[in-house]
Chain A
Amino acid sequence: MLVAGSEVPNLLEPHSASTLVVSQDVDVAVPIQRHSEVKARLSRLEGLAPSSEEPSVWLPTDPSRIEVNFIGYDPTETDPTSVRVFEDEALPLMVFGPLSFLRRGRVIDLGDGLLVPVPRNAGLLLEKLVTDRSGVKGDRDLLVALGLVMVATPEDLDELVTTSRSLSRELQHAVRSNLSTLSLLEPIGGMPDPTKERARVAALLERLEREP
């Protein structure tokens, strides 16, 4: 399992400082090949209970917790535009094709024995940039992508550029299109400020457009 949503930029900051993004939930990406193992451990979760409307969403019963969304991914998926439902009474999952870009990255030690596995930056960033979203949610997701760009190492960006060149033309365009949108977004409270990071985004766009 990986923590794969808006919390990741916070976790990847030095000392997991969590200054970049204010999150309302935590996305936990479950490889469908490990679904049964994850399901077997759900009873050990404390302070959370499955939503009656949507069992893949676990709501806090303890006010110190935030909502957890279980989402599915298949590392063997070859079509990043696909989506399907993994049906299960206890833990159904949306299996998003773009999440197939996720590769296991660091395990972040938050102390007190809490170890949080996160994806490699490049894969998660690519997932954010190929996914077609709109509205406020779409803008927030692009600002999460910006947070990932801000904490990316040069090696992470190299990996992003290399991987994106292997995508279809349509998806390569989606990446560039989302970055161009990100470059022109207005700031949203509690999120990375896009107006201060435009040069970084422009540099990444240039690299993605350059011939290999």
Chain B
Amino acid sequence: MRSLEARAKAFRARVRVRAWEARQLRGAKGTWYRLRRTLARAQDAFAVDALVIDELLAEGYLREPVGDELEPTRSYVFVPPERAEAIRDRRRLALRLSAELLAAPNVVLVPFALGPRSHDDVAKLR
């Protein structure tokens, strides 16, 4: 019975930690969730040069705010697939929380085409 009590205690501790983190979601505690959520929207990711990001911003695309929550900051910019294909020097990144992706300072993301909301998002980025 002692082992069950220990498991219950560990479970309760995790629930308490999660509740504490949930209360701080709008702050730094929520950064990793917002980053995962941003990356989860993407079907493709590419590492690019800073100059490419500058071009995209000049064209009206927007940096995802979560990039500013990291230190050093990162640039994550969603573009439609055809715009991503037009970037000559791009290096495909696997979409997982890998050192490679997290180390890339400038990342172009291509969203999944999911429905009205995503199309709106893409339209807003133009």
Where the two chains meet, the residues of A that have a C-beta atom closer than 8 Å to any C-beta of B are: 53-54, 56, 81, 83-85, 87, 92-94, 96, 132-134, 169-170, 173-174, 176-177, 179-181, 183-186, 195, 198-199, 201-203, 205-206, 210
A-B contact pairs, 18 of them (CB 8 A): A81-B19, A83-B11, A83-B15, A94-B7, A132-B17, A170-B22, A173-B25, A177-B36, A180-B40, A181-B36, A183-B40, A184-B39, A184-B96, A198-B112, A202-B41, A202-B112, A205-B40, A210-B117
A85's closest neighbor in chain B, by CB?
Answer: B4
**Are B39 and A84 closer than 8 Å at their CB atoms?**
no
Q: Judge whether A94 and B22 touch: CB under 8 Å.
A: no
Chain B interface secondary structure, helix, strand, loop or mixed?
helix
Q: Contact at B43–A83, with CB atoms within 8 Å?
A: no
A87 touches B22 (CB 8 A): no
Across-interface contacts of B18 in A (CB, < 8 A)? 132, 170, 174
Across-interface contacts of B11 in A (CB, < 8 A): 83, 96
Q: Once the chains are docked, how many angstroms separate the CA of A109 from the CA of B120?
A: 46
The residue from B12, B37, B40 contacting A83, defined by CB atoms under 8 A apart: B12
Which positions 67-102 of chain B face chain A at CB distance < 8 Å? 94-97
From A85, A92, A198, contact of B43 by CB (8 A):
A198
Tell me if B40 and A201 are in contact (CB < 8 A).
yes
- Give B residues with C-beta under 8 Å from A: 1, 3-5, 7-8, 11-12, 14-15, 17-19, 22, 25, 33, 36-37, 39-41, 43, 94-97, 112, 114-115, 117-118
Residues A83 and B8 in contact, CB atoms below 8 Å apart: yes
The CA-CA distance from A173 to B8 in the complex, in Å, is 22
User: Quick one: closest A residue to B117, CB to CB?
Assistant: A206
Report chain B residues within 8 Å CB of A85: 1, 4-5, 8
Q: Tell me if B33 and A203 are in contact (CB < 8 A).
A: no
A contact residues around B96 at 8 Å (CB) = 184-186, 195
Report which of A170, A181, A203 forms a contact with B114, defined as CB distance below 8 A: A203
Contacts of A170 in B (CB 8 A): 18-19, 22
Pick from A53, A54, A81, A176: contact of B15, CB below 8 A: A81
Residue of A nearest to B5 (CB): A85
Residues in chain B near residue A186, CB distance under 8 A: 96
Residues of B within 8 A of A169 (CB): 22
| Contact indicator B36/A205 (Cβ below 8 Å) | no
Are A92's CB and B39's CB within 8 A?
no
Chain B residues with Cβ under 8 A from A84's Cβ? 8
- Chain A residues in 8 Å Cβ range of B36: 177, 180-181, 183-184
- Complex CA gap A56/B22 in Å reads 33
Q: Judging by beta carbons under 8 Å apart, are B114 and A184 in contact?
A: no
User: Could you say which of A54, A96, A184 contacts B40, with CB atoms under 8 Å apart?
Assistant: A184
